[in-house]
Structure 1
Amino acid sequence: MPTPAASPAASSHLVDLHDLRLDEARALVSPVTNKATAPPNATRYLQSMIDGLCELSLRDPLTGLANRRHFLNVVECEIDRVARSGESALLLLLDIDHFKHVNDTHGHLAGDRVLQEVARILATCVRPMDTLARYGGEEFAVVLPGCQAAFGHTVAERIRQSVEAASIRVASSKEVHVTISIGGAFALQWIRSTASLWVDRADLQLYKAKAAGRNRVHIEEQPSSTVTAEEKGLLFGTLYPPSGWDDPSPQNPTDSAF
């Protein structure tokens, strides 16, 4: 079976180690290097090399998506943002159904091609502000900031349908179709939760989608975490008047409209 070409979406996100010219960088930082004879753009080159290595450390090498480390960092930042702003955020976990069957039937190279193509499809379904990651194996994750509860299921369903409709070529004369199951959970507004708890809640919904027959979406209802005006005052260091208190200043009876 011929080896499928790498996904353009994946390769465009990856840094080629040859482009980093690590041997030249090592020479530049060597103690024996004469700083006076170093090329004038040495600092700029070293910075670009560092940036390239950082990019490599945050990307999955097969799909070009964010890796698990980067994803968890984003989750932590989003939890902090939602705790301070009270805005909505949705976390989706997506798993390719019966992926082992693809590997067993068509081989691991075909399985890799399926992962790359699913990653490409998912990338077309999310916004630039969203974070799409390969969470592990055949599992992906998406963090969607500012996603209201009314739209969560619609977004997830559009993603599911896009994968289901795709024909994935794994050989010159062979195409396969796969489906995904999706579980989702909203961040707790005004509450500083943890990354592991948020992921666990989404994972529970993914398990429910699998148990219900796969190729479906299961999203937890957005939990109620309403914060009163007084509590907001404590959060931000601003004293809000109690609810129902229109104006604490005394009024002149002659100012009354009656």
Structure 2
Amino acid sequence: MNKTAPPSTFVDLNELQLDTALALVGQPHMTLPVGGGAGTQYLQCLIDGLCDLSLTDPLTGLPNRRYMRQALDGEIDRVSRSGEAALLLMLDIDHFKRINDSHGHHAGDQVLQSVARTLQSCLRPMDTVARYGGEEFAIILPACQFGFGKVVAERVRRAIESTPIALSPHQSVHVTISIGGAFTMQWIRSTAQLWIERADTQLYIAKDSGRNCVSIEEQPDSTVSAEEKDELLGMLTGCFYNDADAKTLSPAPEHSTGSAAH
């Protein structure tokens, strides 16, 4: 018996109040299409545009915190399966409030935009740089080995320090950043929040050390001593044998050759 397919439901886009959505995606005068297929394509483009807006920082054009959290979750999943190292850097513009107080908030916006451009210019295409909030940025560096973490962070720090930021045709400023970093735990599925907290801890250390410096979390010591190996081997060996095996493997009791006492 053939089942009757449910009737298709068409939405008349002219009945939807889309003015605000169209204005947000920058196309307030777009003409609504006529027809089911065209309407579906039009609505999908509008949804995609709104999704992009929700994941982008409007001032710098960088991904925002929401996007970064999704990227962190994806990187943690990849590292837990591959065991490949990845580094998270948290960056903070030093004394940013002084810029706003001395030159105004427009100058502060110019500084944020310049820092964002510089960060993008000194990273790989596979890296993710996001504006985490305020004057703080975050960088996710996949496939970054432990030995290169501080090298990369120092390169970023120097790039920001050496880049003049033009506030006007006759005035420019220089800013510095403090950087804290933490690697993922290899082969372990952690959480984005814990990873951020570990990197943030290193950022606070960099600030407490005088700012304009880098602090990267030390690589956890995963080496196992000979005593620990022997102990672990003994524990594993014990798990492989049950009581019956133990009886079979244990030496037979000795029999007395003398006369039994009555």
Return the TM-score normalized by structure 2.
0.73
Contact 1:91–1:184 (Cα < 8 Å) also in 2: yes
Report the equivalent of 1:17: 24
Q: Specify the SS of the correspondent of 1:181.
A: strand
Contact 1:60–1:67 (Cα < 8 Å) also in 2: yes
Question: What is the CA–CA distance in structure 2 between the aligned matches of 1:21 and 1:40, rounded to whole Å?
Answer: 21
Relative to structure 1, the CA distance from residue 24 to residue 95 in structure 2 (aligned partners, 3 Å threshold; closer, same or farther) is: same
Q: 1:159 aligns with which of 156, 160, 185?
A: 156
Q: For residues 94-136 of structure 1, give each alpha carbon's deviation from its aligned partner in whole angstroms, at most 9, with x where no partner exists.
A: 0000000000000000000000000000001111111110001
Report the equivalent of 1:131: 128
Report the equivalent of 1:173: 170
Offset, 1:21: 4.0
Higher Cα radius of gyration = 2
Counterpart of 2:24 in structure 1: which amino acid?
A: L
Counterpart of 1:215 in structure 2: which amino acid?
A: N
Contact 1:191–1:225 (Cα < 8 Å) also in 2: no
Structure 1: unaligned runs, 5 residues or longer: 1-14, 29-36, 228-241, 243-258
Matches within 5 A, 1:175-190: 175-190=172-187
Q: 1:122 aligns with which of 119, 124, 128?
A: 119
Counterpart of 2:159 in structure 1: which amino acid?
A: S
Q: Specify the SS of the correspondent of 1:147.
A: coil
Contact 2:25–2:50 (Cα < 8 Å) also in 1: no
Counterpart of 1:17 in structure 2: which amino acid?
A: L
Contact 1:20–1:49 (Cα < 8 Å) also in 2: no
Does residue 146 (structure 1) correspond to residue 146 (structure 2)? The answer is: no
Q: 1:96 aligns with which of 69, 84, 93?
A: 93
Relative to structure 1, the CA distance from residue 18 to residue 81 in structure 2 (aligned partners, 3 Å threshold; closer, same or farther) is: closer
Report the equivalent of 1:213: 210
RMSD: 2.3
Relative to structure 1, the CA distance from residue 226 to residue 90 in structure 2 (aligned partners, 3 Å threshold; closer, same or farther) is: farther
User: Alignment identity in percent?
Assistant: 61
Report the equivalent of 1:83: 80
Relative to structure 1, the CA distance from residue 184 to residue 108 in structure 2 (aligned partners, 3 Å threshold; closer, same or farther) is: same
Structure 2: unaligned runs, 5 residues or longer: 1-21, 225-236, 238-262
Report the equivalent of 2:54: 57
Contact 1:94–1:180 (Cα < 8 Å) also in 2: yes
